[in-house]
Structure 1
Amino acid sequence: ASAKEGHAKSGYAFLHSCVLGNHALAMPAEQYDFLCNQVAVYLDPFLDGEVPRDQYQARCAGSFMARLAAAWKLRHADESLPGSISPELALTQYTRHLVCKCNMQLGFGLHFPGLGRQPISPKDQETHAGKLSAAVIDAVRRDFAPDQRRL
C-alpha cells in the first residue's frame, strides 16, 4: 500500500505543480499548443454554460484521446498523434484546465473597482473544492479510459 500511496502523492504533487504553473509539460511547443487548444475547445463550451444539459451526453461521447487523434489527423493528414502527446500529459492538461478555469470562474467573489475580485469565504471555498473535486472525477471517468487515468 505504501508504494501506491507514494505514487498517488507524487501524482498529486506533479498535478499541483502543473496547476500552479511551476511545471511545464515535456513536449515540443507545437504539440503543447495543439494540446492546450484542443482541451480548451472541448471543455470551454461546457464550463461556460454554452452546452444545454440535454446535449451533454451527445457532445461528450467517446474518449478524449480519440478526439485528440482525430483533430491531429485533420491538421496532419499523414501522421498519427505524436507519442509526446501521451494520455498522461493529455490528462494533466485536461485536469489543469478544468481546475484553473473553474477556480477563476467560481473561486472568487464579485469584482469591486479598485479592489479586484475578492476571495470567497472559507466555507464557500470548501464547498467549491468539494464540488470541483467531484466534477473533475466525473469528467475524467467520462473522457478517459481506465488505463489512461494516471499521471
Structure 2
Amino acid sequence: KVTGNQLTLTYTDASNLDAVNTAAASAFAVSSAGNAAISVNSVAVSGKTVTLTLSRAVASAETVTVSYTKPTSGNNVIQDAASNDAVSFSNQAVTHSTSAADTTPPVLITTGDHRPKVTGNQLTLTYTDASNLDPANTAAA
C-alpha cells in the first residue's frame, strides 16, 4: 500500500521480521508506467511490515508496482526472526492510500441564502467546494 512517498509491505509470519539484518534499498524496484522514475531511498522494518521511503510522492492516479529481488549473498535480506528468508517477487500491484487530488475549482454561489451579501463595510462571498478555501493563497484586494 502506498501513501505519499511511503510504500508499506506487510508479511504474514508466525514471528516478526528481522529489523536489524534487512535488505538494502537496492533490493527493491518501484515503477509507475508513463510517470517519473521512483527510486527507493530507505528501508525500515517494524513487526511484520517493511516500509520503503520513495524518492517522490505517488499520485493517486498512478499505477504502481513493486518488486523485491532477494540478495544472493550476505545476511541482509528480508527475513523473519528465525532467519527464514522471504522469497523474491516481481511486479506486485500496489494499492493506493494517497488521496485523490482536488481538481474541482470553487464556484461562487450567486443565489439563495449564500449569495454575495454586504453587511456594513464587509462583502461576503461564499463558494462551493468539497474542502475549505486556502487562506494562504488567495487573491489580492
Please indicate the TM-score interval, normalised by the length of the shorter structure.
under 0.3
Could you say which structure has the larger radius of gyration? 2
Give the TM-score of the pair, scaled to structure 2.
Answer: 0.25
Larger RCO of the pair (alpha carbons < 8 Å, separation 6+): 1
Q: Which has the higher strand share?
A: 2
Give the TM-score of the pair, scaled to structure 1.
Answer: 0.24
Q: Which has the higher helix share?
A: 1
